Amino acid sequence: MRRLAAVLIVLLVLATGLAVSADFLIDRSDLKSDVIAAVKRQTGRDLAMARFSVGILPWPSVSAHEVAFSDIGGEPNVPMLQARDIRASIALIPLLWREIRLENVTLQRGAVMLHRDEAGQANWDFHAQPTEKGTGQAEPSHPAARWSLKIGSAKLDRMAFSLDDRFAHHGGSVSIDHAEFDGLASSAPYLDIHGMRGETPFRVNGHIGPLSLFQGANPPWALSLGATLGKEGKQQDWLNFDGQVSDMRHMRGFSGVLRGEMASLKDIETLFPNANMPSVTGFGGEIGVFDADPQGKTPKLDLSRLGVNHLHLHLDSAPSWHGVSVSALHADAETLSSALTVTATLRGPMPALAVQGAFGTLAQAGTSWQTALETPLAVSVDLREAARLGKTEGLHGHISGLIGASETALSLDGGADTLPVRQSALHEVTLKGGFERDGSGKISFKALTLNSHEAAAVLDATAQNAAQPEIEGKLHFQHLDLDALAALWTKPKAEQATAPAVPALPNPVASLTAPHQATPSDGNASPADVPAGQVAHPAVPVNGGFSWSRLASQGRANLDIAADTVRFNAADYTGISAQARLETGRLTLDSVKGSGNGMTLSGKAVYDVSVKPASLTLSLTSFLFPATLAQNLLAMPGFFRGPLMLVGQLEARGDTREALIASLNGHLGLSMVGGSIATGPLGPYLGDSARALLPHGDLSVRCLGLHASFTDGHAQFDTLGMEAGALSLSGHGNYGLVDRTLDLHLLPRIGIAGTGASTPVLVTGTLEAPKAQQEASSGGRFEVTIGGSEPDTCPAVLEAARENLPGEAAPERKKHNKAAELLHGLGLLH
């Protein structure tokens, strides 16, 4: 033991002596100069440091303080890299061949700034200085040997990285808490990076290709990288890639397998705030990718170069598109020759649909993708109501054919036992037809046939989205039962409960009335030139997507509508036809014809925005219209239900709804036989006394007639008459079309037990808040009339409202049950 201790003491003294002597013998300034010169030769950049020191024990090492590595052009004030401290160990063996290999290079508290300009010149591209040739001068007696500099491994501690890539339009910054890089001089360096982007942690680790790429070389790169995003847990996002790139500098010849799971694609925006990712959740799976254009025919890296040799992808949900959302989507293809199958659930206005489709083979789908669908792709898609999978009933459909950029041809065959349509429904529905699109963009619907208990129709139509959009078509109904579809005209109860007191209807045909505003693309004006209170509508490019507003203002359309039989209010109407035409801003509904129930239907409407201000003309002689739909369009309370017969001539001018109403001129008569009237909204117009005697619920309308003249924003009612159950009403008055004010003089009469009572009522206020009070006679007295005869006023009321045109007569009065009417009047029977 004593001898061993003596030997150790001797060795320690010798080592200490060597360290001390080395400290005196090593010229730090020369070594610092050699390091700076080696960096200059191999990168063409300048390296500056405030303090440089060398250590021998426990192993050779160097350290530097306040280090800066210059950027392109060598500007000292804008370094590419700067760090407060850099430490490194020197490998001993490489010194034998004059190579300074730094191991465990540690950079602390610094920053790395990477950038690339618009021309593609990047500051991470280094260029070694050329070797100087001899000049013929005398060689020094002791030529200096040159040293090379390499880094074997490195660590980062609290470093900041920023990227400003103007060539690829990318940028951003991250902070690195800790990072390790091993085997940097080998062909497969290893890295492990822990960093933060804002408040979100991330990690990247794995093997990459040789770093000689940064010195101008272009070796193949083998990659095996994994990444995580977010805090550890079940919802942590992860991504792995295993593959290679044969030409890394130009991103050519890539291939590999990408696997991962992401709770939401929006998570990417924590790293790349401008990525603008869609709100896709539960996205993940595996996809094999390769470079479909490795020879460089496509100059840039884009999705058209992305080939796929197998895939298994899924997502939980995706954002809705035109009101339809996708969930539980799976896309699978095992090999290039396997069929590309897609399953998903679609949710929208209709019942949820389970979709299962095949889109050719994976190779065919890839070819169509890479050629932007110039190579057509065969598709076959089955749809079925998700809640009734495995059952024969329920909504179902099949779509098959070819889709392509130059030609698309699809056939549809579907049906449903019940198909909801708003508050109504179609029963025993079948739908068949074809859809085609040619190379010019012309779209055709071929014999699109609908059959159900409520309607049977065939549509043939074409649409062309050219410089002047065009639509041509014919819609023919074999039968149409509007009574069975009456709920279509009724406002949903939820909408009725939340409807504002003052209606805010959109301007009529908003796309027509909106004036075109020049945009910067027009070369005429900027958004600042748009007058206050108006909205700028950008011009739609000719080859852009279809636009209804452009069709309305610039295009033309022609739709012929015909119906063999229309059932409305328990009556059949035959020979119904109409023609809708649009010609550069002039919309015409013409040739409205039909007959039934003792009347001939006829009408015409013209709305023209090719003139300023726009003009509206209505000619009705006569025309049937659902009362509930009319009241909805006019934002009126839901008084009536049934068929309104409209007769009259109206004209108006204006570019807004308010202007059209204020300029309304002409005359209009409304009449109704049958149908019903709700006593609830009607009661406030009759006064407290009359309202108290009205039964609850609806009254059957025997006849209803209104006739008014319109001028200067007012409606002058010369005829107001109605008979519904025990209630009869007559009167006249005024209605303000702009301020919605009332000045009505009514005489309601309530029949009780074969007799009746009436008193004049003055109604003021507004349509939404009427104020009814008993009206005094010319002598200032308030009168109540009880008993007396009850003449039949329906024929005269209907004649005045119909302007002497023929129409359905009022039915005969029902016989009175005096006891029942008395109980109704006392509120004991409802």
Q: Please name which of 587, 588, 592, 560 lies closest in space to residue 576, comparing C-alpha atoms.
A: 592
Residue with the larger pLDDT of the pair 352 and 524: 352
**Band of the pLDDT at 275, cuts 50, 70, 90?**
confident
- Residue 96, exposed/middle/buried by CB under 10 A (0-12, 13-18, 19+)? exposed
Residue 479 has pLDDT above 90, yes or no: yes
Task: Look at the block and give the residue holding tokens 């996708």.
Answer: 326
Residue 794 has pLDDT above 90, yes or no: yes
Handedness of CA 315, 319, 320, 321 (dihedral sign): negative
Residue 154: left if φ>0, alpha if ψ -120 to 50, beta else—which one?
beta
Q: What is the mean pLDDT of residues 317-337?
A: 91
Q: Give yes or no for a contact between 288 and 259, defined as CB atoms under 8 angstroms apart.
A: no
Q: What is the mean pLDDT of residues 548-576?
A: 83
Task: Look at the block and give the residue holding tokens 């005398």.
Answer: 138
Residue 537 has pLDDT above 50, yes or no: no
The C-alpha atoms of residue 466 and residue 195 are separated, in whole angstroms, by: 53
| Contacts of the segment 222-231: beta carbons below 8 A, 24+ positions apart | 222/188, 223/256, 227/202, 227/203, 228/202, 228/203, 229/200, 229/201, 229/202, 229/262, 229/267, 229/268, 229/270, 229/271, 230/200, 230/201, 230/202, 230/263, 230/267, 231/201
**Band of the pLDDT at 529, cuts 50, 70, 90?**
very low
Q: What is the mean pLDDT of residues 23-41?
A: 69
Q: Please name which of 685, 569, 690 lies closest in space to residue 625, comparing C-alpha atoms.
A: 569
524 lies in some domain: no
The C-alpha atoms of residue 400 and residue 412 are separated, in whole angstroms, by: 7
Residue 86 has pLDDT above 70, yes or no: yes
- Residue 803, exposed/middle/buried by CB under 10 A (0-12, 13-18, 19+)? middle
The C-alpha atoms of residue 356 and residue 331 are separated, in whole angstroms, by: 10
- The reported pLDDT for the residue numbered 419 is 83
Residue 177 has pLDDT above 60, yes or no: yes
791 lies in some domain: yes
- The reported pLDDT for the residue numbered 506 is 37
- The reported pLDDT for the residue numbered 520 is 38
Bridge pairing between strands 742-752 and 470-481: unpaired
Q: Kindly list the distances between the CA atom of residue 435 and the CA atoms of 294, 407, 440, in Å, as whole numbers in the listed order.
A: 38, 11, 15
723 lies in some domain: yes
Q: Kindly list the distances between the CA atom of residue 536 and the CA atoms of 514, 525, 612, in Å, as whole numbers in the listed order.
A: 9, 11, 18
Q: Give yes or no for a contact between 747 and 729, defined as CB atoms under 8 angstroms apart.
A: yes
Residue 772 has pLDDT above 70, yes or no: yes
Q: Give yes or no for a contact between 426 and 452, defined as CB atoms under 8 angstroms apart.
A: yes
The C-alpha atoms of residue 626 and residue 604 are separated, in whole angstroms, by: 17
Bridge pairing between strands 148-151 and 99-116: parallel
**Band of the pLDDT at 510, cuts 50, 70, 90?**
very low
Distance, C-alpha 136 to centroid of its chain = 75
Query: pTM of the prediction?
Result: 0.65
Q: Please name which of 316, 294, 317 lies closest in space to residue 306, comparing C-alpha atoms.
A: 294
**Band of the pLDDT at 721, cuts 50, 70, 90?**
very high
Residue 475 has pLDDT above 80, yes or no: yes
**Band of the pLDDT at 35, cuts 50, 70, 90?**
confident
The C-alpha atoms of residue 66 and residue 291 are separated, in whole angstroms, by: 44
- The reported pLDDT for the residue numbered 294 is 79
Q: What is the mean pLDDT of residues 449-474?
A: 90
Residue with the larger pLDDT of the pair 537 and 604: 604
Q: What is the mean pLDDT of residues 778-805?
A: 81
Q: Which domain holds residue 829?
A: 611-830
- The reported pLDDT for the residue numbered 256 is 94
Domain count for the chain? 2
Give the SS3 label for residue 611. Answer: coil
- The reported pLDDT for the residue numbered 755 is 65
337 lies in some domain: no
Q: Kindly list the distances between the CA atom of residue 236 and the CA atoms of 264, 268, 286, 318, 685, in Å, as whole numbers in the listed order.
A: 10, 12, 17, 19, 65
The C-alpha atoms of residue 315 and residue 31 are separated, in whole angstroms, by: 59
227 lies in some domain: no
- The reported pLDDT for the residue numbered 320 is 87
Residue 26 has pLDDT above 60, yes or no: no
Residue 328 has pLDDT above 80, yes or no: yes
Residue 49 has pLDDT above 60, yes or no: yes
Residue 309 has pLDDT above 50, yes or no: yes
Task: Look at the block and give the residue holding tokens 């009241």.
Answer: 631
- The reported pLDDT for the residue numbered 207 is 94
Give the SS3 label for residue 105. Answer: strand
- Which range, of 11-20, 326-335, 457-466, 726-735, averages the lowest pLDDT? 11-20
Q: What is the mean pLDDT of residues 389-408?
A: 85
Domain boundary among 132, 156, 185: 185
Segment of 154-158, 448-452, 806-810 carrying the highest mean pLDDT: 448-452
**Band of the pLDDT at 689, cuts 50, 70, 90?**
low
821 lies in some domain: yes
Residue 600 has pLDDT above 50, yes or no: yes
459 lies in some domain: no
Task: Look at the block and give the residue holding tokens 């040159």.
Answer: 146
- The reported pLDDT for the residue numbered 665 is 92
Bridge pairing between strands 586-596 and 571-583: antiparallel
Looking at the chain, the whole-number percentage of residues with pLDDT higher than 70 is 80
662-682 pLDDT per residue, tens = 898 999 999 998 888 888 888
**Band of the pLDDT at 21, cuts 50, 70, 90?**
very low
237-263 pLDDT per residue, tens = 999 999 999 888 777 888 999 999 999
729 lies in some domain: yes
- The reported pLDDT for the residue numbered 461 is 94
**Band of the pLDDT at 500, cuts 50, 70, 90?**
very low
Residue with the larger pLDDT of the pair 100 and 433: 433
- The reported pLDDT for the residue numbered 36 is 83
